[in-house]
């Protein structure tokens, strides 16, 4: 362009304006929407892929945490078992000189605790196992004192000396031990009486079991000489008399003619316990250990007796698992709907 603003001669000759650069066509609304949707899908997909990757990492960390936690819980349970069992073994070795006592006491006391929780589970109050534990502790104390004093052993020895002088027997006059003969005969008769009420079959089985068990007990307890055998025999007879009287009293209270069977069953326990006490002289540790064992065995028995006095009724506990109020409400609603249906049908029939 010349100074003064005069356009070039070619532009004036053609009479045309100068052309600018070509503008691209604008996309339509549909195309723009498609592009936005594709971009949105890509963005969402990217977020999803990122979330998946992060969740995979998180899942891996959760697996590691769960595995470590499971190992920790398992070790904690193992540590608890180790402390529980080890404590019983330590106490048994420390107090009574043998880990076997600790194992035995831990077993019977844990069994008693399981029985106590079972009675509470089926609906009895906590008083039944608590009172049972108190009675068992009393039994343990009394028996420990009785065993430690060796009163029964001393009395059996004195009675055995008198019986030996009164009955003219020598050590070679019997084909087998006196303890085997007496315990087999006594336990056989008691087994016969204990099973007599149930019929001839159980009575005969009780007789045979008593004979065999008595012979084995007499052989185990010894008594090779009459001086050793008479205290065992007399102690067994003392236990028989005392326990049979107690069993007969309990059987008479229950009624139904069970006094003889209860006396026989209690007499069997008395013979076994008396024979053992007559054969052994206890030291203090052994007496206390045996007393604790028998007391622990008596715990579930006493708990059962206390629970039976309260009344054993599992429905007191498990009956609460039934939705009684809901079921009653459903029945009432069903009855009301039935009444309404009959009323509406009668109206329609009259109309």
Give domain limits for the chain.
Answer: 100-311
Of 21-30, 36-45, 117-126, which gets the smallest average pLDDT?
21-30
**What integer pLDDT is reported at residue 2 of this predicted model?**
46
Q: Tell me phi and psi for residue 257, to 5 degrees.
A: 75, 25
Predicted confidence band of residue 28 (pLDDT cuts 50, 70, 90):
low
Of the two residues 132 and 257, the one the predictor is more confident about is 132
The whole-number pLDDT of residue 11 equals 47
pLDDT at 140 over 60: yes
Give pLDDT, residue 13. 46
Residue 146 has pLDDT above 90, yes or no: no
Contacts of 253 (CB under 8 A, 6+ apart): none
Least confident of 10-14, 139-143, 232-236: 10-14
Q: What is the pLDDT of residue 18?
A: 53
pLDDT above 70: percentage of residues in the chain = 88
Calculate mean pLDDT across residues 183-212: 87
138 pLDDT band, cuts 50/70/90, is very high
Pick the more confident residue, 219 or 16: 219
The pLDDT value given to residue 84: 93
170 vs 232, higher pLDDT: 232
Which of 107-116, 136-145, 153-162, 312-321 is the least confident region?
Answer: 312-321
pTM exceeding 0.85: no
Band of pLDDT at residue 123, cut at 50, 70 and 90: confident
Q: What percent of the chain has pLDDT over 90?
A: 26
Contact status, residue 234 vs residue 190, Cβ threshold 8 Å: no
User: pLDDT at position 255, please?
Assistant: 59
Q: What is the 3-state secondary structure (H, E, C) of the chain?
A: CCCCCCCCHHHHHHCCCCCCCCCCCCCCHHHHHHHHHHHHHHHHHHHHHHHHHHHHHHHHHHHHHHHHHHHHHHHHHHHHHHHHHHHHHHHHHHHHCCHHHHHHHHHHHHHHHHHHHHHHHCCCCCHHHHHHHHHHHHHHHHHHHHHHHCHHHHHHHHHHHHHHHHCCCCCCCCCCCHHHHHHHHHHHHHHHHHHHCCCHHHHHHHHHHHHHHHHHHHHHHCCCCHHHHHHHHHHHHHHHHHHHHHHHHHHHHHCCCCHHHHHHHHHHHHHHHHHHHHHCCCCHHHHHHHHHHHHHHHHHHHHHHHHHHHCCCCHHHHHHHCCHHHHHHHHHHHHHHHHHHHHHHHHHHHC
pLDDT band at 318 (very low <50, low <70, confident <90, very high): confident
Question: From CA 286, how far away is CA 297, in angstroms rounded?
Answer: 17
> What's the whole-number mean pLDDT along residues 194-205?
83
- d(C-alpha 82, C-alpha 127), whole Å: 31
Q: CA 181, CA 226: separation in Å to the nearest integer?
A: 12
* Highest-confidence segment of 67-81, 159-173, 204-218: 67-81
Highest mean pLDDT among 94-98, 254-258, 259-263: 94-98
* Interatomic CA distance for residues 113 and 84, integer angstroms: 14
Read off the pLDDT band of 281 (50, 70, 90). Answer: confident
- Cα–Cα nearest to 273, from 110, 176, 139, 164: 139
Q: What is the mean pLDDT of the chain?
A: 83
What is the C-alpha to C-alpha distance for residues 106 and 88, in angstroms, rounded to an integer? Answer: 6
Instruction: Kindly state the average pLDDT of the residues 74-93.
Output: 94
């Amino acid at each position: 362009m010349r100074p003064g603003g005069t356009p070039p001669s070619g532009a004036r000759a053609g009479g045309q304006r100068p052309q600018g650069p070509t503008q691209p066509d604008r996309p339509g609304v549909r195309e723009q929407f498609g592009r936005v949707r594709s971009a949105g899908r890509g963005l969402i997909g990217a977020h999803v892929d990122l979330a998946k990757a992060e969740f995979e990492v998180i899942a891996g960390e959760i697996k590691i945490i769960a595995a470590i936690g499971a190992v920790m819980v398992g070790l904690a349970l193992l540590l608890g078992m180790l402390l529980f069992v080890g404590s019983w073994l330590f106490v048994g070795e420390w107090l009574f000189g043998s880990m076997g006592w600790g194992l035995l006491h831990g077993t019977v006391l844990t069994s008693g605790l399981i029985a106590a929780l079972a009675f509470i589970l089926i609906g009895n109050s906590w008083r039944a196992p608590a009172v049972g534990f108190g009675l068992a502790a009393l039994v343990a104390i009394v028996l420990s004192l009785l065993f430690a004093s060796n009163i029964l052993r001393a009395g059996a020895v004195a009675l055995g000396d008198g019986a030996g002088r009164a009955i003219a027997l020598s050590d070679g006059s019997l084909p087998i031990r006196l303890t085997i003969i007496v315990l087999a005969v006594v336990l056989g008769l008691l087994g016969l009486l204990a099973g007599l009420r149930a019929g001839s079959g159980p009575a005969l089985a009780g007789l045979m079991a008593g004979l065999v068990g008595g012979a084995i007990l007499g052989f185990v307890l010894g008594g090779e000489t009459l001086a050793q055998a008479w205290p065992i025999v007399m102690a067994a007879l003392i236990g028989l008399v005392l326990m049979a009287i107690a069993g007969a009293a309990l059987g008479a209270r229950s009624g139904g003619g069970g006094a003889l069977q209860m006396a026989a069953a209690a007499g069997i326990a008395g013979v076994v316990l008396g024979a053992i006490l007559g054969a052994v002289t206890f030291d203090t540790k052994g007496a206390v250990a045996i007393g604790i064992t028998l007391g622990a065995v008596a715990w579930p028995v006493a708990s059962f007796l206390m629970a039976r006095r309260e009344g054993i009724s599992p429905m007191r506990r498990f009956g609460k698992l039934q939705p009684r109020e809901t079921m009653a409400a459903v029945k009432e609603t069903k009855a009301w709907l039935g009444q309404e249906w009959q009323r509406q049908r009668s109206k329609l029939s009259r109309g």
